[in-house]
Amino acid sequence: MSNDRKSFKLGRLARSHDKRIPMLHTLMTGAGITPQSVVPSVDYTQGMPPDLGMMLNDTLGDCTCAAYYHAIQVWTFNALGAQQMATEPDDDVEELYEQACGYNPSQPGEGPGGNEQHVLTFILKKGAPFGPTGQQRHQIDAFVEVDVKNTDNIKRTINDCGVSYIGFNVPQYIMPPGQNPLPVWDVNPTADNTIVGGHAVVLAGYNAAGARLISWGGYYTMTWAFFAKFVDEAYAIADPDWISAKKTTPGGLSLQQLEQAMQALKTGPAESTDVRVPQLKRVG
């Protein structure tokens, strides 16, 4: 990503607790799946373009939607090849923000922000706007929650699914006023740890030191110590293109098992348990 000064917005609302969303380790245990050894490192961003686009997260608090469109870039680049990497137009991102989060473009400001579980549930049921005119829908087969205390399962999720879609609370020190965000996010008890908002990103690689992530169109590193301190939700997503090409699924579960686990969420009414967290009002 360019070192030119940009605007960097947040927008994730605090996590909700929809009991219909299954936990990965519970599904694996129920299916009798014994976790395999964790692959030491993967990096699905290798070879991807240096600038993936802000996805409007420089003007809107749409990080929950921007992160999903960055996931599409990772999936299509790795499953279909560099020439078929899908970078969706900003209009599609804005439309998802409207449909899944209630953003009203006629009102000024960053919008309401988004809840990760609500965004993924919307995409599961209706798909995300996709294609040059936004008339197509990008579908997923399933998504499940991953225990953030189980780092091995976070790594398995990245390896199996291409990304882990996560949410975390942002300390002030990784976003110094008037500067670009730090390239490496690590625990720093002597810095300003004031939480300035919530943020959604995708992890698309890892090694023993930390995770490789995409945010604001660029690449950053989050150490595992930072992950343990600030991340409070993570999800594994079953993408059809990825599964078709890579033959891997969340936790090694079959598509039938994943689809069964999604039935209550697909057919039941929406739940609303949003708790708003402070959002960074950063300009310039």
Alpha carbon distances (Å) from 150 to 154, 217, 224, 233, 237:
7, 27, 11, 11, 17
Among all chains, which residue has been given the structure tokens 């804005």? 94
Query: What string of pLDDT tens digits covers the 284 residues of the chain?
Result: 444 557 999 999 999 999 999 999 999 999 999 998 999 999 999 999 999 999 999 999 999 999 999 999 999 999 999 999 999 999 999 999 999 999 999 999 999 999 999 999 999 999 999 988 768 999 999 999 999 999 999 999 999 999 999 999 999 999 999 899 999 999 999 999 999 999 999 999 999 999 999 999 999 999 999 999 999 999 999 999 999 999 999 999 999 999 999 999 998 776 543 433 334 333 22
CA 223 to CA 228: how far, in whole Å? 9
Alpha carbon distances (Å) from 130 to 68, 74, 133, 139, 226:
12, 15, 7, 9, 33
Contact 37, 89 (CB under 8 A): no
Which has the closest alpha carbon to 157: 11, 262, 28? 28
Domains of the chain: 24-267 (3.90.70.10)
Tokens of 205: 């690689």
Contact 6, 180 (CB under 8 A): yes
Which has the closest alpha carbon to 7: 58, 72, 77, 76? 58
pTM for this structure?
0.93
